[in-house]
Structure 1
Amino acid sequence: MPTEVIMPQMGESIFEGTITKWLKKPGDNVQRDEPLFEISTDKVDAEIPSPAAGVLSEIKIPEGTTVQINTVVGVINESGSATASAPTPQPTTPKAEAPAQTPVASTPAAPAVGGAATDVIMPQMGESIFEGTITKWLKQVGDSVQRDESLFEISTDKVDAEIPSPAAGVLSEIKVPAGTTVQINTVVGVIGGAAGTAATPAVPAPAPAKTEAAPASTVEPQEAAASVSENMRSSPLVRKIAKDNNLDLNRVAGSGAGGRITKTDVLGFLEKHGTGTTAPAAVPVSAPAPPTVAAKPAASPAAPTTPALPGELVPLSRMRAIIAQRMIDSKRTNAHVHTVFKIDFTRIVKIREKEKSKYEQRNGVKLTYMPFISRAVIATLRKMPIVNASMEGEAIRYHQNINLGIAVALDWGLIVPVIKQAEERSFVGVARAIADLAERARGKKLKPDEVGSGTFTITNPGIFGEQFGTPIINQPESAILGVGGLFKEPAVITDDSGTDSIAIRHMIHLTLGFDHRIIDGADAGRFMAEVKKYLENWSEDIG
């Protein structure tokens, strides 16, 4: 029966995409997961895989057309022949050799030694993620491994994670070394088969690291020759723009993760230097592009455990590169304003000191200050939904739920896991969620959907002793709360009769960073005044 090809959603805030190129024409055979067409959205350029094997019978949406997500853009019919459904060997492409390859977690177990080989593939860690970087192999060739035992670590745009083994057996081959970025469904290793015969990992020429979303074989030769060097990372749309303008992409500094050249980079270069050969020979747009993650296996999340030597040039890890790009994007996008409030935390300090031992015994989690601040924020966001909103094109999206991000500092970077529907949780529920997400973030056990879809973020650099900071907003949110350190200070206290006295109080600074495009200073002030009131007059049952 016919299979409809639809415009996919490439992120929760993306609702349309432009078809920039069809890679097949009506009548062509296509394999399942083979690149079918290229799209461009306001956040990503990508090649979209075929949802089925068969023959492309109809193209409903021509190139250059922008359509809504879930629009039917083409139709694939079953060919009825053996060749249409059988896998086509593609040894030089980064995809798994069998289109029916299942994700890592559901691959059947293989016999331990001498049995059928089981491919280990790069899993898809979220619907909008098309590649990942192997940062570390936790097993070596010849090592025994149990099914679901952690086999290797990966880093993607959204999460760092340990990937479990798809089968029990012996790791007989490592096809992709640590430090290499590959497409999802790429075979990165083998378990079983001729176990123990390979003494060292096979080191492939990492063709999948050339481009962000396409196997090397799908890049048209004239495009590759015109503008892309062996290690250049760019999207199909970027390469097309470069080709149309006779631009050598080697002259463009990439600001994306791992040095990826984005659409913004190439358009900015053309605006500044013009097309063709009119620009000076080697003038970068900004700072030199960081090396790709695949360039050095050492550029992994584990790098901080081996400090760099003075004078050494160390490439950015994938996470560091992503953080850098997102911070720049946020500063370019949001009209950042900050307001700082001093909060008398004495009442909460006393409650915590009195209850912390019994609280941990009752609830199995330590009583920290973060749940107090989180609950005050949640209560205030419910009263002032504009601070929980975000810009969406030329409109404001008022979010139905409060998805509270809690920034967690890691040895190798920073990550923001999210408490979904935080408004439905009690004090104890919020406390448990914070502790659980932080622990799993440090253990690389987070799932992709636990680090996205946030609507408001809290970051706590005060644990390092700072008075206050001016945090950068976490896109696409519109506000972030920075928590300063807790200090004893002399303060003027006024009693009920109006008499003033000086006392030692526990004080903390809270900073609200907000996007002035949608949040006015008055709204920000009212929000913080309400948070201050909630904390200084705490009356909520902590459970």
Structure 2
Amino acid sequence: MPIDVVMPQMGESITEGTLTKWLKKPGDTVARDEPLFEISTDKVDAEIPSPAAGVLGAIKVEEGATVTVGTVVCAIEEAGSAPAAAPKAETVTPAATTTAASDAAVPAPAPEAAAGPGTEVPMPQMGESITEGTLTKWLKKVGDTVSRDEPIFEISTDKVDAEIPSPVAGTLTEIRVQEGQTVTVGSIVAVIGGGAAAPAAKAAPAAPVAAPTPAPAAPAASAASASAGEAPRSSPLVRKIASENNVDLTTVPGTGASGRITKQDILGHLEGGAPAAVPALAAAAPVAAKPAASAPAAPVSAPTPGELVPLSKMRSIIAKRMVESKATSPHVHTVFKVDMTRIVKLREKEKNKYEQRNGVKLTYMPFITRAAVQALRKHPIVNASMQGEAILYNKNINIGIAVALEWGLIVPVIKQTEEKSFLGIARAIVDVADRARNKKLAPDEVAGGTFTLTNSGIFGEQFGTPIIAQPQSAILGIGGMNKEPVVLTDKDGQDTIAIRTIQRFTLGFDHRTIDGADAGKFMTDFKNYLENWSEDLG
């Protein structure tokens, strides 16, 4: 059965896209996740991967055509007719990965579930450059009643960990994507309503008739796949873990539906053993009996004993983005000392009245953000970005505020800060930081930044050398605040030593767009604005 490929959602506010180039032609064989075509919107140009392995069938949208999100642009004909149901489970487009359907190992209930009048829940767009996400946790199970906007699952990307709310009220009738799976934006992960999932769930009790066979069926399927020269069935997350740890997946018995290798299977393998059900089958299953099955784990633990923990989705992609940024931008850093004594005294004097009057605490971040905005107004090159062989001067100043989380780092963006008052900035900072820690940020709130602030000084460091968030041209690192002896010169030229509150700020900048002189002028104006603060706090 062919799998439809649709125009994906490339941003929360984007409703259409232009198909600019086909990378394959009808009849070509394509691998899962291999780029099929390129699209362009006002926010992003991207290559769109194939959701499944097979042969490219009819092309329904020609190059240059602009179509709405969700329009079918082509179809992938799965190789072979007999095993058609198996790849469909891996592409996550049907309901074959639903727990009930998997246990029953019968593909027929999947279409039945999809045929109901339920509301499909897609993997949302979590940033304009993000094309996929990992479903990390289900907050509801099949059969649970959910309210509109009630969180039903959690996802993770390099930019955001978020709870995704239900689009409608009803009953969760179908789960199509299991915890730990990584799927492309727009993939259907669940169905609300419809009522067809219940029969599928009840199909599972028929399994006890063949109770002795389900356990060996999974390793047998994996072995059959390996013997036929095919890659074992697994999720992108499993393949990533295997790649990072040099594990041959043909040596890992799969306990999932039809021999699918699960996250627990690969982690158990890395820990030096197979899943609990496998040892009893060692004599019967050729793959499980291979001596090499546990070999890859030895080099991992032998040199340095310890616990091997795979990177989270967020951590993994943060690592990738940081390497890409260092490879893309020639980083230069300049450090300025700023006398914050005036602001410290002002804050101490006003903080209690300010909180009572405005309902928000008076911290140092609004002062720093406001000073950065004023300096960016005077030096727009620092707010610009490279775009091909040209420089894009951004119309607005959108400030990213790095927020440290227990599970990683997230950078919510405060849009159009040049239009906000001091009080407006103060409220916005508190708001996005709170919602970031509680996984309540909307996708659009982690995209579109033009300049970033990162406050590592809260941990006591003097200053740091932060990495630029692409495609921005600069990032401001905020160092620790300390009292230091400083030489002061009065209007008559007389020097005295005084104790002042000093803070160091580091501007990391892309030398392709910003010269040292530009950076120096920006930082001088930033410093002067803080040291000679005269703005009303509101």
Indicate the TM-score class for this superposition, using the shorter chain for normalisation.
Answer: 0.5 to 0.7
What does the per-residue CA deviation read over 1:198-237, in whole Å, with 9 as the maximum and x for residues that have no partner? 59999xxxxxxxxxxxxxxxxxxxxxx9996644859xxx
Matching of residue 518 in structure 1 with residue 513 in structure 2? yes
2:332 is aligned to: 337
Change (3 A) 1:163 1:16: closer
SS of 2:409's equivalent in the other structure is strand
2:123 is matched with which residue? 123
- 1:162 corresponds in structure 2 to 163
Q: How far 1:429 moved relative to its partner?
A: 0.8
TM-score of the superposed pair, with normalisation by structure 2: 0.65
Find the aligned partners of 1:201 and 1:152 in 2 and give their Cα distance.
24
1:180 partnered with 2:181: yes
Tell me the amino acid that sits aligned with residue 410 of structure 2: I
Counterparts of 1:316-355 in structure 2 under 5 Å? 316-355=311-350
2:38 aligned with 1:39, yes or no?
A: yes
Q: Which amino acid aligns with 1:315?
A: P
Q: 2:35, 2:48 within 8 Å by CA — same for their partners in 1? A: no
Per the TM alignment, residue 528 of structure 1 is displaced from its structure 2 partner at its CA by 0.7
User: 1:356 maps to what in 2?
Assistant: 351
1:295 aligned residue: 263
In 2 relative to 1, CA 8–232 (structure 1 residues): closer, same or farther, beyond 3 Å?
closer
Instruction: Within 5 Å, give how 1:253-332 maps onto structure 2.
Output: 295=263, 311-332=306-327
AA of the residue aligned to 2:413: V
SS of 2:391's partner is strand
Question: Cα deviation per residue 1:297-324 (whole Å; 9 max; x = unaligned)?
Answer: 999xxxxxxxxx9711111110001100
Alpha-carbon deviation of 1:146? 2.9
Query: Which residue of structure 1 aligns with residue 478 of structure 2?
Result: 483
How big is the shift at 1:407?
A: 0.6
Q: Aligned partners of 1:358, 1:416: CA distance in 2, in Å?
A: 30
Query: Any residues of structure 2 matched to 1:25-424 within 5 Å, and which?
Result: 38-39=37-38, 44-47=46-49, 60-61=62-63, 92=89, 93-95=91-93, 118=118, 121-126=121-126, 129-141=130-142, 143-171=144-172, 174-183=175-184, 184-188=186-190, 193=195, 230-231=233-234, 295=263, 311-424=306-419
CA 1:197 to 1:322, structure 2 compared with 1: closer, same or farther past 3 Å?
same
Asked if the contact 2:158/2:315 (under 8 Å) is kept, the reply is no
Give the one of 485, 492, 498 matched to 2:493. 498
Is the CA contact 1:161–1:446 (under 8 Å) kept in the aligned structure 2?
A: yes
Aligned to 2:24: 21
Q: 1:9 to 1:466 in 2, by over 3 A?
A: same
Q: CA deviation at 1:174?
A: 4.0
Alignment-mate amino acid for residue 94 of structure 1: V
Secondary structure of the 2:23 match is strand
Evaluate the alpha carbon distance shift between residue 16 and residue 260 of structure 1 in structure 2; reply closer, same or farther with a 3 A threshold. farther
Contact 1:141 1:201 in 2 (8 A): no
Q: 1:243 aligns to what?
A: none
1:21 match: secondary structure: coil
Q: Is the 8 A contact 1:6 1:70 kept in 2?
A: no
Change (3 A) 1:37 1:429: same
The whole-number CA distance in structure 1 between the counterparts of 2:66 and 2:165 is: 33
Question: How many residues of Structure 1 are paired with residues of Structure 2 in the alignment?
Answer: 408
TM-score, normalising length from structure 1? 0.65
- 1:38 partner letter: F
Give, in angstroms, the shift of residue 45 of structure 1.
2.7
- Which structure 2 residue ranges, 5 or more long, are not aligned? 29-33, 52-56, 74-84, 96-115, 206-227, 249-260, 268-303
Q: Is the 8 A contact 1:40 1:46 kept in 2?
A: yes
- After TM superposition, give the deviation of residue 526 of structure 1 in Å: 1.1
Give the percent of matched residue pairs that are identical in Structure 1 and Structure 2: 57
Report the CA distance between 1:139 and its aligned residue. 2.7
- Deviation at 1:421? 1.0
Per the TM alignment, residue 450 of structure 1 is displaced from its structure 2 partner at its CA by 0.9
C-alpha separation in 2, matches of 1:486 and 1:405: 21
CA contact (8 A) 2:36 2:47 kept: no
Q: Letter of the 1:417 partner, please give it.
A: P
**Partner of residue 104, structure 1:** none
Partner of 1:288: none
Match of 2:514, SS state, is: coil
Which has more helix, going by share of residues? 2
> Secondary structure in 2 aligned to 1:496?
coil
Taking the aligned partners of 1:330 and 1:190, their CA distance within structure 2 comes to: 40
RMSD of Structure 2 on Structure 1 (CA): 4.5
In structure 1, the residue matched to 2:429 is 434
C-alpha distance in 1 between matches for 2:20 and 2:435:
35
For residue 271 of structure 1, what is the aligned residue in structure 2? Answer: none
| Residues 419 and 450 in structure 1, CA contact (< 8 A), matched pair in contact too | yes
Distance change >3 Å, CA 128–CA 459, structure 1 → 2: closer
Q: Secondary structure in 2 aligned to 1:353? A: helix
Whole-angstrom distance in 2 between the partners of 1:6 and 1:182 = 14
Q: CA deviation at 1:38?
A: 2.0
> 441, 449, 461: which one pairs with 1:446?
441
Change (3 A) 1:409 1:135: same
The answer (yes or no) to whether the contact 1:179–1:298 under 8 Å persists in 2 is no
Q: Report the residue type matching 1:188 in the other structure.
A: A
8 Å Cα contact 2:19-2:39 kept in structure 1: no
Tell me what 1:101 maps to: none
Which residue does 1:221 correspond to in 2?
none
AA aligned opposite 2:135? I
Structure-2 residue corresponding to 1:267: none
What is residue 457 of structure 2 aligned with on the other side?
462
Runs (5+) with no aligned partner, structure 1: 26-34, 50-54, 62-66, 78-88, 98-115, 203-224, 235-249, 262-280, 284-292, 300-308
Partner amino acid for 2:497? I
Kept in 2, the 8 Å contact 1:386–1:398? The answer is yes
Taking the aligned partners of 1:446 and 1:392, their CA distance within structure 2 comes to 28
> Cα distance, 1:433 vs. partner?
0.9
Deviation at 1:8, TM superposition (A): 8.6
For the 8 Å contact 1:330–1:473, the answer to whether it is kept is yes
CA contact (8 A) 1:337 1:515 kept: yes
Deviation sequence 1:128-167 (CA, Å, 0-9, x none): 5443211112234554433322111112354321112344
Q: Is the 8 A contact 1:367 1:431 kept in 2?
A: yes
Using the TM superposition, give the Cα deviation of residue 43 of structure 1 relative to its aligned residue in structure 2, in angstroms.
7.1
Structure 2 counterpart of 1:95, which letter? Answer: T
